[in-house]
A and B are shown apart, each in its own frame.
Chain A
Amino acid sequence: MTRPRIAITGIGIFCAAGSDVPSFTASLLEGRSAIGPVDLFDVSPFPARIGAQVRDFDPAGHFDRQTAAHLSRADQFALIAAREALEASGIRRHRDPFDIGVCVGAGAAGMIHGEQWLRERVEGKPGHPAQLRGLLPDRAATVLASHFGLHGYQGSITTACSSSATAIGWGADLVATGQLTACLCGGTDTLSLLTFTGFNSLRVVDPAPCSPFSLGRQGISLGEGAAFLVLEREDEARSRGARIFGFIRGYALAGEAYHMTAPEPSGSEAARVMGAALAAAGVSPEEVGWVNAHGTGTPLNDVVESKAMRQVFGERVRQVPLVSTKAMTGHCLGAAGAIEIAATAIALGAGTIPRTLNFRGADPECDLDYCHDGPRPSTAAVALSNSFAFGGNITCVVVSR
């Protein structure tokens, strides 16, 4: 049986690069980086003191006091982005809540609050138990389901930096197989001391704004935010007159079975998953206009991703730009995949290939087209979004306009 096409009928984004789809789109198409000083916690002990923090965030602008008090920062971001996606889709006016599900790619969740509890315990204080409320990664899915009254499904994918790409792929599966009529899927994550100290301890954080695929890059810039999509079957979306922002054409996921933190160095495993995603989507490599890279800016990862590109696209590889939007959004970890898939759909719709910001010079090992020189007009109808994660977890998603 032919798999139905899965339409994106709603997009919502809340991150440092934009507090909604219009502002995020402007940053994306105009090439504005959101990386700057971090003051969410004390970063003074670290050489890298920057990140893509959502600045001046006041929950009171979005929630009443009682609601806000029960939500972690990650839950709040999720609710804001999900509301925009749901309102854009109008899905709740058209479908039974038992047929709409929620699938969240989760990261550190409420760790920023939980670590405050731990700090107080280490200092011999009792710690306030409310700080632990949002600690588990499933909290956002539960909050979204209950807040918006979605009864159909509740799931949280935790595959580190590929979490929300996997959540979107899985959401598309649930809709394509008829288990749900619609799925709100995406991801949310916030800066936390855990990830800030952890990545710094691994010495993979760049003291300057990250510069994917550039000479002299030293690593990532961390970020935070949330992005959600509403997915439906194309025929059902059209039958109710929904606006279609694009399509999730297919995806693939795998474990490299190589190393917890290092990518398989030849790029063959990453290439295998990229190829499998294209095959699942029924898309040939020749149809792909550009690739939204995982593109963290770490010295090794960028080289491996470039190697994988060569294996997938062969002689055509220099005609397929490999673009990293992380120099704009920072690496939003659990939310990264969803933000990048949303960015891919937006850019495809706008007929623009985004720019990879912060170019510092050409790296001979990264010799592809990374759109370092600026955004460019494109007639591409199909793009691939890559997400690579701790554990060797890889998810690649094919998006089309």
Chain B
Amino acid sequence: MSGQNLDIAVTGLAAISAAGVGTEPLRAAVASGTSRLTPLPEEILGEAGHRWGKAEAFRAADFMPPLKARKFDRCSLLATVAAGMALKDAGIDLAGTDPSRIGIALGCGFGGIANSVELLSGYFSKGVEGLVPMLFPNTVPNAPASNASIEHGLKGPNVTQVQRFCSAEAAFQMACRFLEEGRADVMLTGGVDELNAPMVQGFHAMGQLRRHARGFGEGSGILVLERRRDALRRGAAVRGTVTGIRTLGFVPPDAATEGKARLVGTGTPDIVSLSGTGAELPWLREGLAGDRIEIGPLVGRSLAMGGLALVTLISLMPEGAAGLHLAASPEGPFFAIDIAGGSPG
């Protein structure tokens, strides 16, 4: 896929992760290089020695009344709260904005699984009497984006992407495209994932805890995007500018050289963010100049962790710096996103 001549501004950022609530704890974790992973409770797998990146500091009650929070699954809570934080950070006044012009494109790898497990476990244990109807609506992976749109009144384009370790990047690309095409004036994007015991047990059964030994994580990284000219017109602070997105699907070993040439581009980034399994692919990472950021070892890995990785990259980029975000999944896809720091003239 060819590059694009984008001119999209990032005007709002929000993060909830194992590092804490907000972008600052995440920046601090990266700055100090300190892992925020904690021991996985022994009762989940019946054995010790594993770690995970649970967003322990996140309390829904800090953001909404408990009765309201009950209708959300954890994934939806993480997305809804982070979406609100990102909108506030961008200085967007929802009351003064046409809701049909604000949309959301979200990556969500594991959304819905917790409710699916609970619904089915009730059925397997007690039959029809064990079914809890209120669990079913949030079994769909689009529940986090949809719940966020319902809570904040966003009536623009609404999409969820699940695509391996590039779920957030795939959503990010859509959000940029929707802005370029005029489908919306403001797009929230990024990623959300949750961690729960049945998921970890499933990862364990499939050998994924060994494969991704540094631990799975959860959280939500949300970015607010606008066309740059619109952002400047309303006097918004531009945190970064998206100047290019390239992506590939399946790349067989004999096409790795061509794949990398098509993906990485010819720029010389000051900072490279590696997400998903990017750091594990020699053909992708070797020869890359610039400082490296990889948040997976610090807060855990998830399918939509690209949202948090992009938030981190943009938070850390000095004005005018050139950033390259690279994300990969073992069998594809692959994404490269060019970011210019701050608001260069």
Interface residues of A (CB under 8 A from B): 45-46, 98-99, 101-102, 106, 111, 115, 117-119, 121-123, 126-127, 129, 132-133, 135-138, 141-142, 145-146, 149-160, 166, 170, 173-174, 177-180, 193-194, 197-203, 252-261, 269, 272, 389-393
B170 surroundings in chain A (CB, below 8 A): 155-156
Interface string of B121-152 (1 = CB under 8 A from A): 10111011001110111111111011101101
**Cβ contact within 8 Å between A255 and B156:** yes
Query: Count of chain B residues with Cβ under 8 Å from any Cβ of A?
Result: 78
- Contact A132 to B158, CB < 8 A, known contacts A151-B259, A179-B2, A257-B153: no
Query: For B248, what are the chain A residues with a Cβ–Cβ distance below 8 Å?
Result: 98, 151-154
Which residues of B are found within 8 Å of A135, using beta-carbon distances? 202
B20 contacts chain A at the CB level, 8 A cutoff: no
- Please report which residues of chain B, range 42-63, place their CB below 8 angstroms from some CB of chain A when the two chains form the complex: none
User: Are B150 and A154 in touch, CB under 8 angstroms?
Assistant: no
Q: Which of A46, A133, A155, A258 has the most CB of B within 10 A?
A: A155
Which B residues touch A151, using CB under 8 A?
248-252, 255, 259, 332
Asked whether, in the complex, the Cβ of B154 is within 8 Å of the Cβ of A255, the reply is: yes
**10 new A-B pairs (CB below 8 Å) besides A126-B205, A138-B163, A193-B120?**
A46-B128, A119-B120, A151-B259, A156-B161, A194-B139, A198-B135, A254-B157, A257-B153, A260-B137, A391-B149
Residues in B lying within 8 Å of A, measured CB to CB: 1-2, 4, 99-100, 103-104, 108-110, 116-117, 119-121, 123-125, 127-128, 131-133, 135-143, 145-147, 149-150, 152-164, 167, 170, 174, 177, 180-181, 183, 198, 201-202, 205-207, 247-252, 255, 258-259, 262, 303, 329, 331-333
Task: Name the A residues within 8 Å of B207 (CB-CB).
Answer: 129
B161/A255 in contact, CB under 8 A: no
Other-chain residue from B2, B123, B149, B160 in contact with A178 (beta carbon distance below 8 A): B2
Q: A98 touching B258 by the CB < 8 A rule? A: yes
Alpha-carbon distance A152/B335, docked complex (angstroms): 11
> A102: which B residues are within 8 A, CB to CB?
249
Bound-state CA distance A35–B290 (Å) is 59
Contact A179 B4 (CB under 8 A): yes
Whether A118 contacts B250 in the complex (CB less than 8 A), given A142-B332, A260-B147, comes out as no
Whether A156 lies near B163 (C-beta < 8 A) is yes
Knowing A151-B248, A194-B139, A202-B133 are in contact, say whether A392-B159 is a contact too (CB < 8 A): no
**For A391, what are the chain B residues with a Cβ–Cβ distance below 8 Å?**
140, 142-143, 145-147, 149-150, 158
Contact across chains for B205 and A127 when beta carbons are under 8 A apart? yes
For A111, the chain B residues whose CB sits under 8 A away are: 116
Pick from A106, A145, A166, A177: contact of B177, CB below 8 A: A177
What are 12 A-B contacts defined by CB distance under 8 Å? A117-B202, A122-B124, A129-B206, A146-B331, A154-B250, A157-B161, A177-B177, A180-B1, A197-B131, A203-B133, A254-B155, A257-B149
Taking a contact as CB atoms under 8 Å apart, the answer to whether B120 and A253 are in contact is no
State in angstroms the CA–CA spacing of A154 and B177 once bound together.
16
Cα A253 to Cα B198 in complex, Å, equals 33
- Report how far A195 CA is from B142 CA in the complex, Å: 15
Give the interface centre of B152, B201, B207 by most chain A CB atoms within 10 Å: B201
